[in-house]
Structure 1
């Protein structure tokens, strides 16, 4: 009987004295200053690029620029006014041509170099501004876009002709939209 009582007391003592394992504390603590500095640097870069784009827009009195909610500017070279013509949606296959130049218009990639492209909306890898710009267009339209670097090729560039943090101008012609329903 004594052994049973001692065993029960031992068991109770073991279960009540055990703690859950505690996570180890980090050896060094980061102040977050690198992230804060990076954010400030990027904010300055975006502001500088937007000021440069704003100057270009103010000097260009022949076009009516539209500010997109996605953070770039554009104007129509050819606009389709028919309401019955739809813009592409997720999964639609679009056929288009485009070029890329500096904001001032110096060619980086000509339309001939790039050739005619096909792209499934939001299902393939293209630069952010191109993806968003195509979704604003209708079949038969030609639009010129001014993209800040974060909407173009960003910090890394394209590893060929476009350097890091380079804003671009791109004129895109949307030739054809094949709706996802018609692809199967």
Structure 2
């Protein structure tokens, strides 16, 4: 019996030494040069523009206008007075959603939020679009990712490279 155990132990020792495990190779992420990156982002931009245009075709009643920067906007309820200007404070209510209809954020209907036009650290598309509005007006903005949250989204609810729809009411100008 001892002899059997002894043979088993020696056999196990040789067996375990025979298989040497190699560490897994770590693959490096592909490297992109400037030209490749530019081409890749052009592709993203073209796809995004096509998605936005398809959305607009399904919503012709929005009567959207297009700016040179890529912002689409429609003031669907006119307000009164002069349009808001650089440095003024916009007091707003809003809803932010995706092109698929999912609501990302919504301001409380009883509360408002405010920001200084062209000075606050918010999406550049909002700064552009709000200037088409005056007190009491309501507007919809379709903001492409390069004017919204860009490559990484907001790292919470808005995904990377997402176009967003803002439905904004300019409650007051201060």
TM-score normalised by L of structure 1: 0.72
Partners of 1:143 and 1:169 in 2: how far apart?
A: 10
For 1:159, the equivalent position in structure 2 comes to 155
Preserved contact between residue 72 and residue 146 of structure 1 (Cα < 8 Å) = yes
Preserved contact between residue 70 and residue 132 of structure 1 (Cα < 8 Å) = no
Partners of 1:63 and 1:49 in 2: how far apart?
A: 19
Q: After TM superposition, give the deviation of residue 44 of structure 1 in Å.
A: 0.9
For 1:48, the equivalent position in structure 2 comes to 47
For 1:60, the equivalent position in structure 2 comes to 59
Paired residue secondary structure (1:95): strand
Partners of 2:113 and 2:91 in 1: how far apart?
A: 6
For 1:169, the equivalent position in structure 2 comes to 165
For 2:35, the equivalent position in structure 1 comes to 36
Preserved contact between residue 77 and residue 137 of structure 2 (Cα < 8 Å) = yes
Partners of 1:120 and 1:74 in 2: how far apart?
A: 20
Structure 2: stretches of 5+ with no match in the other structure: 1-31
Partners of 2:123 and 2:56 in 1: how far apart?
A: 23
Q: After TM superposition, give the deviation of residue 57 of structure 1 in Å.
A: 0.9
Partners of 2:132 and 2:41 in 1: how far apart?
A: 27
Partners of 1:130 and 1:139 in 2: how far apart?
A: 16
Q: After TM superposition, give the deviation of residue 63 of structure 1 in Å.
A: 2.2
Instruction: Give every structure 1 segment of 4 or more consecutive aligned residues whose post-TM-superposition deviation is greater than 2 Å.
Output: none
Q: For this pair of structures, how many residues does the alignment match?
A: 144
**Deviation string, structure 1 residues 64-104 (Cα, Å, up to 9, x no partner):** 11112221112222123x6xx21122211111111110113
Q: After TM superposition, give the deviation of residue 118 of structure 1 in Å.
A: 1.1
